[in-house]
Structure 1
Amino acid sequence: MLPPSRYPSSDTSHTEPDAAVRQTDTDAALARLSAVQKGYLSDPFIRHLVPRAHLQPARPPLINVGTYVRSEGIDALVGRFLALAEQERVPCQITSARMEWLKAYFELDFPEVTMKKAMAIRKSRELSVVLGKPEDLSLANGGAALHAPTYHLLPADIRRPPAEALAPLIPLLSPAHPTLLLFECVLVYMTPAASSALTQWFVDYFAAAHEGCGVLGGIVYEMFGLDDPFGKVMRANLQARNVSLPGVDPYPTQESLPERFLSHGFEFAKALTLRDIRRSYIDEAQQERISQLELLDEIEELELVLAHYAMTWGVKLPANAGALKVSWAQQWDISASQVFPQAF
């Protein structure tokens, strides 16, 4: 969650373009850490993934609230996907850039990022014990990759041709299982051609495999609609940090976002802004709890920022899906009970 002004990156000294993009990953981790420390979220892992976590300063309330809405909305969508997949009684796979769902997923990121994360996992008993016994964990690729029985951390530059970039994933990914692609502020940093090729690769991979009978789902979280005055300020502030957004232009409106999936043959796709989620999917009890954590004076700015971030999700079903098409279209959604099930 990057507001348009006053809160720059913790490190703006990078001159190499990829370093600036990688810094946004660090910024997101620091924002999540802040939201956890302030009581917005519960996450037992994040402090092990941020160096000197106890010394990191808190983020402003605007960032904490945005991080909270982002996290809870994605958790709700992923949780609902897993629940629907469970109805098919087969394991589910997730390809992602997050750490919360460790039982069946593959995480891909820049080698510089995966190496740091692999080291953090190996050094933290709390993280490594979740993945299995010590003898079950192994490093590869010079320490940039980590493998466990049901978790694989893989270095990859997914801007490259998918057949090349995803080669380490192919032996591990089964098209027979429901699979969820989770892109959190990833595709917006890629050219439209590269992100389209990436999505189509997964569609083709599942369609071509003889055993391919699993549901293919996708979730994209990123900014959009940066052609209005507020959006132009957001874009300018990111450009000042050497962060370009080549993937933002094809999706200028909320209505255009589902095309990311529909153009690749997905049967169903939907998009909600973070403002939508905050306004319509947070129950009164949670609204009251959040309001008591910190004083938030920047309500108007918060609304503008949240209106320029969206979650888009869609599903591609196998040819023999039958009644599954109606089931997934009707049931894979966000509701207040899904977004905020836990008690604090």
Structure 2
Amino acid sequence: MFPPPTQDADSAIRLTDSDAALARLSAVRKKYLEDPFIPFLVPRAAFQTPRPPLINIGTFVRATAIDDLVFQWLQTSLNQGIRSQIISLGAGSDTRFWRIATGPYKDALETYIELDFPDITSKKAMAIRKSKDLSAILGEVNVSLGGTGLTSTNYHLLPVDLRLPPEATLANHLSSAILSSTLPTLLLFECVLVYMSPEASSAILQWFVEFFSGGETAPLGSIVYEMFGLQDAFGRVMVENLKARNVSLPGAAPYSDIHSLPTRFTNVGFTAAHALTLKEIRKSYISATELERIAHLELVDEVEELELVLNHYAITWGLCAPTEALRTAWGGWGLVKAVTIPSDEDDE
């Protein structure tokens, strides 16, 4: 008999991108989010089943908060009369480039770069080429690196194993022809660093800080979304469930609580950093109008479980802007609490 096929050690991690894409597709179809591009990046999208309300709500909170931070960054660029670069590391099936390129902030974007495993980028490159809706927005497209990469005027899809030393990966791919060291630049890590060793993730951030000369000529921003605080009972269940899928979380160990998350940035030279749980974002940073709208989309029975899950995921954002001029221009970047309208009872 032939031996059973073996999976490489990273296949389980790569499958997490499929999970995220299916979750976004489900949230879009249930009207939590708007994204006309996600069906083109999900195989057999028309036949995919919807996800439970708990996943749809979590996807909504995550997407809403990250979009807010990204759009704020681009708006600040417009205010300064300059364009920004965005680098999405571990981008997977994300559609953010297309949403920006067809939205109100398209003039604020100079370059958008996506990095991921070669298996992921080759599939995405193929999906882009097959879809007229995606490729038309890119304009002239050049396939590179044996089909694992793709470039256009302001979009670059590049195969990179982010766990390797950045001097041997990022330095080779992010040449001056692609990435400028003098433009405002935003790094995105959505459920990426938690799958890497703390040393590897710190090395990536340190490389960018040094590339941009400590943010003295242009600000460097970064957004991280991932799970944390996995030492309690609920967190241990999450870890065991992932282990059953052959997924480990070496990057979660240093971050036992919300207060530890900003140190990811401040330890490597960022000048400011903040973190919020998805539970707190849902409670205080999303407008009452939006919360009321999504409350009517699906019946949620497991409110306690929802809050437990949201309390173990966080968004952390950091800014490297050491000069007074840059702090003045960019220091206000970050999530802002939603304005609450007092009820008649509050006036009594």
Scaled by the length of structure 1, what TM-score is found? 0.89
Identity %: 55
C-alpha separation between the residues in 2 aligned to 1:275 and 1:281? 10
What is the aligned length? Answer: 318
C-alpha separation between the residues in 1 aligned to 2:163 and 2:79? 34
C-alpha separation between the residues in 2 aligned to 1:332 and 1:309? 17
Structure 2 partner of 1:168: 173
The answer to whether residue 125 in structure 2 is matched with residue 118 in structure 1 is: yes
Structure 2 partner of 1:8: none
Matching of residues 9-88 of structure 1 within 5 Å:
15-88=7-80
Matching of residues 87-126 of structure 1 within 5 Å:
87-96=79-88, 97=91, 98-102=94-98, 103=101, 104-126=111-133
Match of 2:284 among 280, 297, 320: 280
Structure 2 partner of 1:138: 142
C-alpha separation between the residues in 2 aligned to 1:22 and 1:77? 26
C-alpha separation between the residues in 2 aligned to 1:287 and 1:61? 14
The SS at the match of 1:160 is: coil
Equivalent residues of 2:271, 2:319 under 8 A apart: yes
The SS at the match of 1:87 is: helix
Cα RMSD (Å) of the superposition?
A: 1.7
Equivalent residues of 1:34, 1:57 under 8 A apart: yes
The SS at the match of 1:65 is: helix
Give the letter aligned to residue 324 of structure 1. L
How has the CA–CA distance of structure 1 residues 157 and 222 changed in structure 2, closer, same or farther, with 3 Å as cutoff?
Answer: same
C-alpha separation between the residues in 2 aligned to 1:175 and 1:280? 36
Q: How far did 1:101 drift?
A: 2.7
Equivalent residues of 1:35, 1:67 under 8 A apart: yes
- String of CA shifts for 1:205-254, please: whole Å, max 9, x gaps: 11189xx7211000000000000000000011001100000000111110
Equivalent residues of 1:272, 1:311 under 8 A apart: yes
Q: List, as ranges, runs of 4+ consecutive aligned residues in structure 1 with deviation greater than 4 Å.
A: none
Give ranges in structure 2 of 5+ residues lacking alignment. 102-110, 340-348
Matching of residues 324-343 of structure 1 within 5 Å:
324-336=326-338
- String of CA shifts for 1:253-282, please: whole Å, max 9, x gaps: 100000011111211100011001100122
Q: How far did 1:331 drift?
A: 3.8
The answer to whether residue 160 in structure 2 is matched with residue 156 in structure 1 is: yes
How has the CA–CA distance of structure 1 residues 28 and 39 changed in structure 2, closer, same or farther, with 3 Å as cutoff?
Answer: same
C-alpha separation between the residues in 1 aligned to 2:134 and 2:232? 43
Q: How far did 1:327 drift?
A: 4.3
Equivalent residues of 1:17, 1:243 under 8 A apart: no
- String of CA shifts for 1:317-344, please: whole Å, max 9, x gaps: 1x5x32331443334333448xxxxxxx
Equivalent residues of 2:189, 2:225 under 8 A apart: yes
Equivalent residues of 2:185, 2:221 under 8 A apart: yes
